[in-house]
Amino acid sequence: KGKAVNVLSKGQAFGGLALLYNCPRTASVVATEASRVWGASGDEFKRALQETSLKNASENRAYLDAISMFDGLSDQQKLLLSESMRHEVVQAGYRVLSEGDYGTAIYFVKRGELKAVSGGSLTGGVHSASVHIGTFKAGDVFGENSVFSKEMRTSTVFATQQCELFSLTIENLREVLGDDLATCLDDSFILHGLKRSPIMSQFSSTQQKKIAAGMEMKNLMSDTRFDADGVRFVLVLDGQLICKPEPRSQDQVRLSRGNWLEESGMFQMDEEKSEKSQELAKVRVSVVDTKTRMRTEDGKSITVISAGHEGTRVAFLTREGMGKVLFDFGMSAVGNSEEAMDYMRKMLVTKKV
């Protein structure tokens, strides 16, 4: 005789909230016709939820590890984000983001395809009079620009087929990374890049954090030349760098997000293979010409560095910046770039020995 609050039909479940939160039932359920139901005990229900939660967290973490945006985060930060990730399946024609809205979440495509358009209107899953901006497929990320910039979305994104998506809300990200999301991700990514460098990795974690804080950032327009004079270390944050060994050379090396360059004059390691052993190596510290040369991760010599066709964002450390950081470490004898370079040479040679 009480007030009806809901009507349940085939495929729907009930009774889970009281078990989940260990609280009294808030409503009675009465059959209005002959029905057949199945149920699980509280212990079985909680065990099933726990197993599902652990499985989802493991899958989310594996997926999160594959996203370059989060490369610099710690294991604990990734674990917390993976537990907060929301999974959803959307059908063809479903609008995920709308142009003009403010960003509330970042989306990751696990399966399917979506389109981004600007302008026009959406009717029955079909856009008319709109400009095609891009396509998102498995492994792509979208929605992050408006979240980080706190500006309105500049395009509408809708599914062209059934899609499986993950998402993280602003609240999820702020709980783990703090209020300044973009800066936190950049700082973490730069620190991750320093740890991958055979030179910068010689410093302690505390020193690496100070080096990362001393690095500068720069946005390069399409095909703009990057002046590496006086630069010790360069890390690609977004886009691509196109590198050449010489100005007129036809050979090119393309560096993407996470790739880095170091000044050749810092260290030059020549490995000489012995007939008896492939593991013997010789370290030679050499002096290069006055023309600034950089080297890639695989040892290729570079003198010309330009932004890719879509522009590039880089973080870099200058000679004087390195000297200042080392001076701040309390190394009073290391006060300029040349002394800093000499100190780093000694660190690497000592490590090798």
Q: Where are the domains of the chain?
A: 50-177, 182-351
Tell me the β-bridge partners of 111.
Answer: 164
Locate 40 and state its tokens.
């699980």
Angstrom distance (rounded) from CA 149 to CA 297: 32
| pLDDT value for 185 | 85
Residue 263 exposure: Cα atoms within 13 Å on the Cβ side: 27
Q: Distance (Å, rounded) from C-alpha 56 to C-alpha 262?
A: 40
What is the pLDDT, as a whole number, of residue 122?
63
Look at the domain 50-177 and name its fold.
Answer: Jelly Rolls (2.60.120)
Q: Is the dihedral of CA 253, 259, 263, 268 positive or negative?
A: negative
Backbone angles phi, psi at 80, to 5 degrees: -65, -40
C-alpha to C-alpha distance for 266 and 342, rounded to whole angstroms = 8
CB 242 within 8 A of CB 308: yes
Q: Tell me what pLDDT residue 160 has.
A: 93
d(CA 191, CA 258): 11
Residues in Cβ contact with 238 at an 8 Å cutoff, skipping those fewer than 6 apart: 257, 312, 313
pTM: 0.61
CATH code of 182-351, in short, is: 2.60.120.10
Q: What is the chain's pLDDT, residue by residue, as a tens digit (353 residues)? A: 678 888 999 888 888 888 777 788 888 999 989 999 988 887 887 788 777 777 777 788 888 888 877 877 888 888 888 888 888 999 999 999 999 999 899 999 999 999 999 887 666 656 665 788 889 999 888 998 888 878 889 899 999 999 999 999 999 899 988 888 888 888 888 988 888 887 788 788 888 888 888 899 999 999 899 998 888 899 999 899 999 988 888 888 999 988 999 887 654 443 333 343 344 333 333 333 335 688 888 888 888 999 998 899 999 998 888 878 777 776 545 545 556 566 666 766 776 67
Return d(Cα 261, Cα 281) in angstroms, integer: 22
CATH topology match: 50-177 vs 182-351:
yes
